[in-house]
Structure 1
Amino acid sequence: MNDDSTLQSRLGLSEPSAAGFGLTVAGFVGFMGIITAEVLYPNYSTRQDISDLGSTRPPNPVIHEPSATIFNTTMLVTGAVVVLSAYLLYRTVDRRGFPLALAVFGVGAFGVGVFPGNVTPWHGIFALLTFFAGGITVLLSARVVSRPFSFLCGLFGGISLLVLLSVFFFGLVVRGSHPLEFLGGGGIERWVVYPLILWLPAFGGYLLAGADGATGTFADEQRS
């Protein structure tokens, strides 16, 4: 009996179904964890960086509890579940680039939880890894799903990467103000992050709906 059959016999789930369940949970935990940390953070504004919920940056970092613990734990759980889901998909799909990118996305999120904003330069490294890998993951997912959902994946991934790259373009090349500057740094960051978080339960739901509990039509579809 192979591992896939063992998973089905124990949980009644195919590997795509289990991955879909994990990604849906990861999206829920990520979204609600951020919201909860925001509510409990004194005088917090969405114009602030999301990572401020864990800790602001040096030289005078500010940490508010319980927001910091909630945010850091949220990132740890979300990242770990995404990595596990990526492993399950890696065992299922032929196009390995997508699950590998998904795993890097999860590692980035986990690293953000391990290294809060006051831990430099590691926090910044893992945050950028999360943003870039997340956007690439969502774009690659458009190749393993059917239409019209593939269009949504392309849209979500494209928006996230476009906004992220525009920050570097206007900051390093143009050296001028960003067109979305009126949103504040945190507002711009949310245009990068939220499409990725919204994609998690959307793609997870797609896997749950497409896997039949026996062979999983998702795997058959992307192999064709």
Structure 2
Amino acid sequence: MKRNLVIATLTAATLATGGTVAAFAAGDDDATATQRQAQTNAQHAADRDDDSADDRDDDPSEDRTALSSGSVTAAEAIAAALKHTPGTAVSADLDDDGADAWEVTVVKSDGTEYDVRIAPDSRKVLGAQRDTDDDNDTDDRAELAAVKDAQTDAREAALAAAHKGTVTEVGLDDDNGAVAWTADTVKNGKHSEWKVALDSGKPTQDRDDD
């Protein structure tokens, strides 16, 4: 009777402290077997916790370029840039060189281009700088003319591509005279490229995309 009382006390101490207490009682095999089973169950629970932590660490949806440093989408960045610098947005790129900002290129009504930087977590305008290198670029003027007559602008193209994944870049592409929006997306760690029609706004995967 006294031996059973000691074993019960040791078992209660083990459960209260979370530790392991070894109890040896001569001639009491049932108590020893019960203790071994409790230790085994505790070890299995610890192993399950470790496995769960590993699964979270290996989540493929966590991609650095997929707006890991903020929550502002490409469409929201374009809208913020146009509010600050009115004109026609022709591209938006999530800068991954360490600056952590959206860079939106806006062409004003007089043909001048501005690079507007947007914070990826607040839509705050970090700065706007005129880009003098491309103001008189013939290809850019042709693309801009096509966009002005289009039914889909850069923001709408970004929204269309967002159905395919997280948009990290939107721009224009002139393929043998056929101008279309292009968009880069990331989904479950996979990068894809899309073309978005200027008239219908329908995204189709780029045939040149590997």
TM-score bracket for the superposition, by shorter chain length: under 0.3
More helix by percentage? 1
TM-score w.r.t. structure 1 length? 0.26
More strand by percentage? 2
TM-score w.r.t. structure 2 length? 0.28
Relative contact order, CA 8 A, sep 6+: which one is greater?
1
